[in-house]
Amino acid sequence: MTTKEDLIKKLENKTARIGILGMGYVGMPLAVVFAEKGFNVLGIDPDNRKVDTFNKGISYIQDVPSETVARLQKAGKLNMTTDFAALAEMDAVSICVPTPLRQTGDPDMSFILSATEQLAKYVHAGMVIVLESTTYPGTTRELMVPMLTHEGKAGLEVGKDLFICFSPERVDPGREDWTTYNTPKVLGGMTPACVEVATAWYAGAIQTIVPVSSPEAAEMAKLLENTFRMINIAMVNELALMCERLGVDVWEVIDAAASKPFGFMKFTPGPGLGGHCIPIDPLYLSWKMKALNYNAKFIELASEINTNMPRYVVSRVMEGLNDRSKALKGNKVLVLGVAYKPDIDDVRESPALDVIALLLQKGALVEYHDPHIPHIHHEREGWKMNSIANEDLMKSVSAADVVVIVTNHKSYDYPAIIEAASFIFDSRNALGKWGGKTNPKVVRL
Ligand SMILES: NC(=O)c1ccc[n+]([C@@H]2O[C@H](COP(=O)([O-])OP(=O)(O)OC[C@H]3O[C@@H](n4cnc5c(N)ncnc54)[C@H](O)[C@@H]3O)[C@@H](O)[C@H]2O)c1
């Protein structure tokens, strides 16, 4: 039997050993879906705290219940370690490490590089490797493949001994209808044999595989998805700015347009972009294009508009206070919701951090409440803050000169908040359906 046939057989009968490099928001749900479908999975992550928490049978990812972790661990289907040497035993490895931006706004490839370096030490014939981290087109072919085949491992032929693919992750944290299992998975391989092997693996745990002809097509598909969102959000943010000048209710306009059953997709304005993906991923593409002397104009413009939204929110808060004969300086501001989107516990790149930073710079006395985020810190500015306690929420709402809704978590009792507050700036239209459109206490974006 050839290496390829042997590996496919192991993957199909689920005796293949699966390694997940990077057990965060993406890696953990992926590890769980493989383990649930009968694979033996080992998560490898350098973060001791994550491994310790996991080993106590506790999940540190909101979408993965602790009972699931404990059950799969007990069944011996899912384990976790900090020991990269375990890679030597793996038949199949998914790489789910972070791809943030550096301070300069350029891609930070250090996590992909370090994970691949580790993998290069243990790579062997009969291994399939899938990169899942979002990255610029060309990463798999230009960066990973040479490291895995040349650095001490010359002789491993891709498509014959070693099978390498890119498959973008589409997980939407907090979402229950579309999960890792039923969200179609795009997969592009270095060769058709690479796609064949990786499909034998992924199809054993994920409902629909969408093969494409190259890793670059798969890398670019992910960037198209997220650039599409980023640009549409920027467009609707600009629409909000225009509507304000025109004295037109942007939310009413959007709902009216959304009644069109075809050719329109609803996006809503807000205080800016957040999360590990939408604000960052398109910049990987524009960075790559710069190297090819091409200026990705839509991305740059959208980024500029979205980045300016926290400043716009603060200027509207100041205007609202001014209309009530108050200054921002020295007055109390309560920010509600700091997660980057509703009902999740992730604050990465959240526009709330910028909104709070700007409010503080203007001399406001800021506190925040978020049922999902007990602490925040602003890396660049160096400040830290704790969420006010749940039991103190309504007292703070009453005491605030302005309540700013940055993230519209479902758990808030909005009618009670309207009742108790003296002035609310609502950047998400959380209050529209509670009479916020006509209530003089409420100003919406
Ligand atoms: N979070 C999302 O909603 C989402 C959605 C789609 C795609 N993505 C992409 O998936 C990738 C991972 O994102 P995430 O949100 O899971 O990040 P994360 O920070 O939650 O998790 C990454 C994990 O990788 C670990 N890690 C760091 N260096 C490592 C190394 N050398 N080897 C092994 N593990 C290492 C970290 O300790 C961490 O646990 C990123 O490229 C991201 O853009 C994220």
Instruction: Give the other-Cβ count within 10 Å of 298's Cβ.
Output: 14
What residues make up the domain containing 126? Answer: 3-213
Tell me: do 107 and 11 sit in the same domain: yes
Q: Is residue 90 one of the residues assigned to a domain?
A: yes
> Do residue 250 and residue 389 come from a single domain?
yes
**242 and 380 together in one domain:** yes
- Give the confidence band of 420 by pLDDT, cuts at 50, 70, 90: very high
* Ligand 1 center from residue 62 Cα (angstroms): 15
Residue 223, in any domain of the structure: no
Instruction: State the Cα–Cα distance between residues 164 and 131, nearest whole angstrom.
Output: 8
Q: What percent of the chain has a predicted confidence (pLDDT) above 70?
A: 99
Residues 6+ apart with CB under 8 A from 371: 387, 390, 409, 411
Residue 222 placed within a domain = no
Residue 93 lies inside a defined structural domain of this protein: yes
373 in the same domain as 328: yes
Q: Is the pLDDT of residue 276 over 90?
A: no
Residues framing ligand 1 (Cβ under 6 A): 21-27, 44-47, 50, 96-99, 111, 114-115, 133-134, 169, 171, 173, 276-277
Which residues are catalytically annotated? 277
What number is the average pLDDT over the span 139-167?
Answer: 90
User: What are 321-329's contacts with CB under 8 Å, separation 24+?
Assistant: 321/401, 321/402, 321/423, 324/401, 324/422, 324/423, 326/401, 328/359, 328/362, 328/363, 328/364, 329/362, 329/363, 329/364
User: Mean pLDDT of all residues in the chain?
Assistant: 96
Could you tell me if residue 338 is inside a domain?
A: yes
pLDDT greater than 70 at residue 154 = no
The pLDDT value recorded for residue 98 is 95
CATH of the domain at 77: 3.40.50.720
Q: Which residue in 303, 241, 232, 244 sits closest to 268, CA to CA?
A: 232
What pLDDT is stored for residue 63 in this prediction? 87
Domain assignment present for residue 41? The answer is yes
Nearest CA to ligand 1 atom 43: 134
140: DSSP letter: I
Is 57 within the bounds of a domain? Answer: yes
pLDDT at 62 over 80: yes
- Please say whether the beta carbons of 283 and 310 come within 8 A: no
Domain end position, chosen among 153, 179, 213: 213
Q: How confident is the model at residue 123 (pLDDT cuts 50, 70, 90)?
A: very high
What's the gap in Å between 16 CA and the centre of ligand 1? 23
Report in angstroms the alpha-carbon separations of 93 from 124, 184, 320: 12, 19, 54
pTM of the model: 0.93
Asked if the model's pLDDT at residue 317 lies above 60, the reply is yes
In contact, 431 and 337? CB cutoff 8 Å: no
- On whether both 202 and 74 belong to a single domain, the answer is yes
